[in-house]
Structure 1
């Protein structure tokens, strides 16, 4: 079956091509309506991974089958180590040759440099970073003792309850099975982020009889997430988390309440998420990655109502984050482009979204301008199909199969059985064999020994 275990595939599919204006209800509360980017597109799902992962050969086979079936666009919210010649890298090279538009997640290993994963590292597909959006699902944790903090939340509320520090209850990380029920039962629990998944922590609280969770970050510059938790929860920054921890330690009977999610907004949006993987490309220094950025934080879309063990069951929607969420946004844009321009190549479509991108994006500190190794060409700008839009960009940087082989002559020659002969033949045919001269809408030069010329 192509059904997914944890809602990841359902979420990405509905982001790209979910029906239009669908009422979204989460934890019994209406959240407005949601629509896919290309709501009338048809979806074919290929199951290349199971709940325990899978093999690269399975993923390559899924890609090959999708191409054989004649799909127009592939979303690939999957990633691994950066490479140019892995199984999925090469499968996507032939997908590009077949005219298939491909969007893939840049990875969730930022903000350190050179954290782009694979196949996002190859130039023949479109690598997508993740940024925030204006909409922010927030909740409040407060106490009758006079303090209050706002964080991320999409869960329900609690009344005023006893408040305990998970460290005192046996495990500050709230690992399932490690909290003392005698301490936790009936209380809101303060949990520290790290080591295990965020939802696993609320499961640990739930298993110990807790009735709410305050999750605090290990650092103050990290993002806040609105996960589908097992108990009412609010995710806050480190500083308020430590303030609450100090309050618990110095109060005879500490209490708190969680006020369920409300709709707020980010003044700094779009800002790059801290997790979005950054360039430069670790396996191809002369190309700029990611290519583009798109919304990938607190994205409200579909969910699997019957997930695998460890996820909160029975919700048809979720608001989650990752470059897995931003990639299908671009895949949906590609579907619209394919409809408007059925004869465009994948490189021309990629060029259109890059050359028309919105560049007023800030970095994850929410103040500094984001650079090309964070946002690529900028934030994809989907608007009316008028002149200057991605539907009518006016200029296209095109490339094809032989151009990518020429790129590999420089960046990955070992893929060829006879690199010298292959690359000489390409050069004789007028194909550039230097990575810097691949006809991309961006120009990257990793080293300039005096003077260099770049051609487009």
Structure 2
């Protein structure tokens, strides 16, 4: 049982008898998180903090101060604390009554691809575009979005509060003063800001706790917040590129920033503190563009995001998270808990074109962001990396990739260098810098996978091309003794096709934590995103003669996450009483699966995208406002999920505020996770020898109380999929109806992954649920 593994790890680490440490120098102390589940009934925050201190005192040596050891006390949305402990003390505290899990404070990373800069046109939809009334939340809704991120730059024009009403009276948050940040830095748009460093010298020896202000030091938090809920800003651009109106998806929503990320990452203890405060402060939604590494995905009871989100959702707060940037490899996504809305990243219909012009004025299309000062005429010598190999380089092809130290400077000086790039290669940024320092006048990178990602090189002339385009260039270079060319400055191309396309970096399913849940949930724009940024201090990022741009082009699932948060805020504002599960369902079941060529969505390689790539599809803000049917899931559903996942009732009663005497069903099994009332369906270990039955309950939220929905099924030939009943008749007195989906194999055995969908329609609404069946 995975839940017990967390404590078991600590027990196994404590292999030496305690007496062996007698007389030795005090063991190394590190930050541990002690998670104690739901807040006990009738417990005050002060009472819980005292309980946490008493628990600490019980494991500390005489003379040690629990107050100085304690970092954070979580006592609003859930119970627990973070403290600096020795391994021995951590093991001892894990054995105490009421403790769910004890784990080393993990450092999570932002889900932005740092060397990629991109364009975004706000309010982009692929096959539907909401009118102004549908695209904006009612001004009276006052939806509050909380961001766990790097902080905020309050002076950004995206956070102006012009024409906004008074701050909602239910808001209980604060605007914390800090370095270069005062309580007056907030306004009626940015209504709250917190940060999570500590003033205790013992508790702050690491760089990640160096932040002493809610002010954004990296730009990431400013970018995500403005993407989701920024005010309209006229004539926004990145040095003239992507010029237009910049605005968030829900311009009437309020913003609350919780700075949990610092120089070295985002500590789990701070993430939990942010969740704890956000729940108390009164946010309606949370946007979390960060996560664990795909190589170190903790169990739900040891994952700060899963823990915090669980208790936020229990309080009616929708939590939207990024899927991660570890694509395109399979099973690479994170933030897979079923109470989280997990978002993948796609491109938009805009490209940054930087062409290569060859001798004879033949133009080859490329893409990147550069403000090239080269002549437009092809007068610069071209050379392939392999041809510039130094005498000391090996013959393994590394020179063709322009790897560090492989090229002879004298051979590339004054020339444009053509270089290969493959997945796993060293950073293009560093290799480009070496080419520049060696005297090259420009660089052309060859990468089919990354051609759709417009890296930013500013004043140095660089572009990226496909392998097909590279063949044309190499053919020209081989046909003439003195090949020449040039790289043109970037221009913006609109109505680019096909779009959307799954971003190559976007992490993919299936989920390794709970294979009975299909993840990601949806996809949204995460490439070429233009949004607010902090003033630049590095002049190398500013083109000659320009001032630092207040907007920047950034890419990653960090950017797709706030798109969906903005949509969720709009859905919430139109339907204030809807639960997080209903909001998630509305977004998922109305998503689209076609691009602007009216063809199926594709991945970066050109293959048809599957639910492991895009979940239910590309988010559609207009359709999500009126989904027709939704799939509800509340605390009891998640209790059953945790029972099926393997948590015993004793631990479940600690994690969740379960009813008195709650017991897990006797038949609890991981095979029953598929029965969670989710808007999508996932089945694992399907042999085909027996049929698999999955249950769902649909709730009518349409304007018509009397409605009849008929089902249609799209399935692969290897599967026979039956839905019983095949019609659902809703009435004023019957708003919830159940049905079963029966999966049977049409062949003797089922191997690999099979995908399809189930769609209910009343002639107006189309309520689609994708499914994924994994054979053995």
Q: TM-score with structure 1 length normalisation?
A: 0.85
Give the equivalent residue in structure 1 for 2:354: 139
Give the conservation status (yes or no) of the 8 Å contact 1:175–1:200: no
Partner in structure 2 of residue 370 of structure 1: 609
How far residue 112 of structure 1 moved from its aligned partner, in angstroms, is 3.0
1:454 to 694, 717, 721: 694
Residues 222-371 of structure 1 aligned to structure 2 (within 5 Å): 222-230=450-458, 231-241=460-470, 243-244=472-473, 252-264=481-493, 265-306=495-536, 314-360=548-594, 361-364=600-603, 368-371=607-610
CA apart distance, 1:331: 0.8
Judge conservation of contact 1:132–1:270 (CA < 8 Å) in 2: yes
Aligned-partner SS, 1:444? strand
Q: What is the CA-CA distance between 1:320 and the residue it aligns to?
A: 3.3
Evaluate the alpha carbon distance shift between residue 200 and residue 13 of structure 1 in structure 2; reply closer, same or farther with a 3 A threshold: farther
1:91 CA displacement: 1.1
1:435 equivalent in alignment to 2:654: no
> Which residue number corresponds to residue 222 of structure 2?
10
Deviations along 1:139-178, whole A, 9 cap, x unmatched?
A: 2111224543212223223214343445527665567888
Counterpart for residue 328 of structure 2: 111
Query: Aligned partners of 2:673, 2:537: CA distance in 1, in Å?
Result: 44
SS of aligned partner of 1:343 = coil
Which of 405, 414, 430 is equivalent to 2:639? 405
Query: What are the superposed Cα offsets for residues 12-32 of structure 1, whole Å, 9 maximum, x if unpaired?
Result: 222212222432232355623
Question: Quick check: 1:105–1:129 contact (8 Å CA) kept in 2?
Answer: yes
Kindly state the Cα deviation for residue 380 of structure 1 after the two structures are TM-superposed.
0.9
Which moved further from structure 2: 446-455 or 348-357?
Answer: 446-455
Structure 2 spans left out of the alignment, 5+ residues: 1-212, 391-398, 595-599, 697-776
The 8 Å contact of residues 143 and 257 in structure 1, kept in 2 or not, is answered as: yes
> In the alignment, is the contact (CA less than 8 A) between 1:125 and 1:346 conserved in 2?
no
**3-state SS of paired residue (1:148):** strand
- Displacement, 1:390? 1.5
Alpha-carbon deviations, 1:100-138, whole Å to 9, x = none? 222111122233332222x2x111011111222222221
User: For 1:411-422, what aligned pairs fall within 5 Å after superposition?
Assistant: 411-413=645-647, 417=651
Contact 2:237 2:530 in 1 (8 A): no
Equivalent in the alignment of 1:149: 364
Q: How far apart are the structure 2 equivalents of 1:27 and 1:188?
A: 25
Name the SS for the 2:491 alignment partner: strand
Aligned 8 A contact 1:132 1:271 in 2: yes
SS in 2 for 1:349: helix
Q: 1:93 Cα shift?
A: 0.7
C-alpha distance 406-162 of structure 1, shift in aligned 2 (>3 A) = same
C-alpha deviation, 1:440, in angstroms: 0.9
Determine if contact 1:226/1:319 at 8 Å carries over to the other structure: no
Larger radius of gyration: 2
- Could you say what the CA RMSD is over the residues aligned between the two structures, in angstroms? 3.5
User: Is residue 127 of structure 1 aligned with residue 342 of structure 2?
Assistant: yes
| 1:337 counterpart SS class | helix
1:379 alignment partner in structure 2: 618
Aligned residues: 447
- 5 Å matches for 1:178-193? 182-193=410-421
Q: Comparing 69-78 with 306-315, which one deviates more in the overlay?
A: 306-315
Write the deviation string for residues 344-393 of structure 1: whole angstroms up to 9, x where unpaired.
2111110110111112242216755422222211111112xxxxx31222
| Partners of 1:10 and 1:303 within 8 A in 2 | yes
Counterpart Cα distance in 2 of 1:296 and 1:283: 24
Bigger RCO of structures 1 and 2 (CA < 8 A, at least 6 apart): 1
Displacement after TM superposition at 1:186 (Å): 4.4
Deviations 1:287-307 (A, max 9, x none): 111111112222222333326
**Structure 1, gaps ≥5 residues long:** 384-388
Indicate the structure with greater strand content. Answer: 2
Is the CA contact 1:15–1:325 (under 8 Å) kept in the aligned structure 2? Answer: yes
Of 27-36 and 228-237, more deviation after overlay is shown by 27-36
CA spacing shift, 1:182–1:259, aligned 2, 3 Å: same
Is the 1:114–1:282 contact (alpha carbons within 8 Å) kept by the matching residues of 2? Answer: yes
The whole-number CA distance in structure 2 between the counterparts of 1:106 and 1:70 is 25
Does the Cα contact within 8 Å between 2:370 and 2:489 map onto a contact in 1?
yes
* 1:425 aligned partner: 662
SS where residue 23 of structure 1 aligns?
strand
Report the counterpart of residue 87 of structure 1 in structure 2.
304
In structure 2, the CA distance between the partners of 1:20 and 1:176, relative to structure 1 (3 Å rule), is: farther
TM-score (norm: length of structure 2): 0.52
- d(CA) in 2 for partners of 1:214, 1:165: 9
Aligned partners of 1:91 and 1:66: how far apart in 2?
Answer: 10
